[in-house]
Amino acid sequence: MAYSIPDIRRIRSYFLRLPLATRLLVLVLTAFYIAVCIRPSLEQWGALIPQEINLTTLYRLNTFPLLHKSLPHYLLNTAALLPLLERFESDHGTLVTIILFTGAFGYIPGGAYALLERYVFHLNSSALGASVWVFLLLASESIKTYRANPTFKILDVLIPTWTTPLIFLLVISFLVPHTSFLGHLCGAATGYAWGLGYIRFLAPGERVLRWIEGKLDLLGRIPHYVSVDQKTYGRYGVLPTTAAPARVGSMHEGILAGGNGVPLVPVPAVASERTRLGP
């Protein structure tokens, strides 16, 4: 049986097309992993330890997803996070992605985990790793999928598509030792809340984002930047056409004519439109 070798050019093209915030976050994850290898005490400094959370250590709510215990831990989490984060940024824009992943998407699941561990279960288990973001994004995507395709079938049993992240969570908890079931569950709950629209208010309004992007010309100045208007104007904005509009020939001929009025091709007349980049 012949095995196909992945096309290196396609892999390279995928990484070259990654949007800005996704690149930055993967770079930060890599930098923190290297820093922990050089200075292991950073893990204790940034991990989410419920009994250590107070007003002076709230930074742990945002640093714990950036730290990993080992190379396999880092590689698996980064590989799982990369396509999910790329899709999120493509849907919501670079500014929203940066704001949420440096703020609410850290302190909401992290704060919920710390409160439950400390005051409900009376435990002090530390948590770290980007898997909390993986389950957050999986849950958010599952809500989108549920709206388009509410169920899938396994052995004639209809299963709601929104439960897929919870199934993954249970499987990983059984198969992978030393994983934080509660941490993953808090991440998934945050993702469900985002997907259902309960915490969408945490993202800045589109009017504010458009003003910032227009004032700083972020789309024109920064490569791989995703505009907040990607849903309307394509993933990376609009490129206006520069060619002069073609003149339309007689209606009974239905042909487009060039600048000198010479017929070019026998096609129906079409309305001109702006060229768009992205899906």
In angstroms, the first-to-last Cα distance of the chain is 36
List the beta bridge partners of residue 181: none
From the list 126, 131, 140, 227, the catalytic residue is: 131
SS3 264: strand
Identify which of 136, 231, 224 has the alpha carbon closest to the alpha carbon of residue 185: 136
Identify which of 108, 106, 83 has the alpha carbon closest to the alpha carbon of residue 22: 83
Tokens read off for 83: 């396509």
Give the CA count within 13 Å in the CB-facing half-sphere of 46: 22
Q: How many beta carbons lie within 10 A of that of residue 38, not counting itself?
A: 7
Length of the chain: 279
Q: Which residue has the tokens 């439109």?
A: 273
List the beta bridge partners of residue 256: 248, 265
Identify which of 42, 44, 183, 179 has the alpha carbon closest to the alpha carbon of residue 111: 183
Q: Is 131 a catalytic residue?
A: yes
From the list 68, 73, 92, 184, the catalytic residue is: 184
The C-alpha atoms of residue 133 and residue 127 are separated, in whole angstroms, by 13
Rg (Cα) of the chain, in Å, rounded? 24
Active-site residue set = 131, 184
